[in-house]
Amino acid sequence: MSANCTNAQQLVNTLYTDNPQINWHGIVSRLWTGNKELNAYREKHHIQHPLVIDTSGDVFLKYGVKRVPTLILTRNGKEIFRETDFSHTAALTDRIKAFYSRKASKDILNTPSFINTAEH
């Protein structure tokens, strides 16, 4: 699980840098996480995208997140892509890039994306 979390965060860091047209948001579980842990996580993984704690649990509940990490791409609040296996990040990067190139339009490119991670 730890390797999967690390792979996910490295992938998201790369995707964030390579795809500035996507509105990235990192949402972290409230379990075992406070501001101190969030800041340590942000520093440890060199995170540049916005990152917040889901203090109410509403985001995890709304999207039915049961496994971490989970990468969810949404459009207009509706899920359009989900992944929880980050063992093959090169293939996943290609899938995400292909997804966006096929669906390229103004509203898709402004899709908010939620990245849920649990590693501290």
Instruction: Kindly report the pTM of this predicted structure.
Output: 0.78
| pLDDT reported for residue 102 | 63
| pLDDT reported for residue 43 | 95
| pLDDT reported for residue 120 | 32
| pLDDT reported for residue 47 | 94
| pLDDT reported for residue 13 | 92
Torsional sign, CA 57, 68, 96, 6? positive
| pLDDT reported for residue 76 | 76
CA distance 43 to 62: 28
Ranges under pLDDT 50 in the chain: 105-113, 116-120
List the one residue out of 69, 81, 77 whose CA is nearest residue 27. Answer: 69
Fold annotation for 2-117: Glutaredoxin (3.40.30)
| pLDDT reported for residue 22 | 79
Q: Would you kindly state where each structural domain of the chain is located, as residue ranges?
A: 2-117
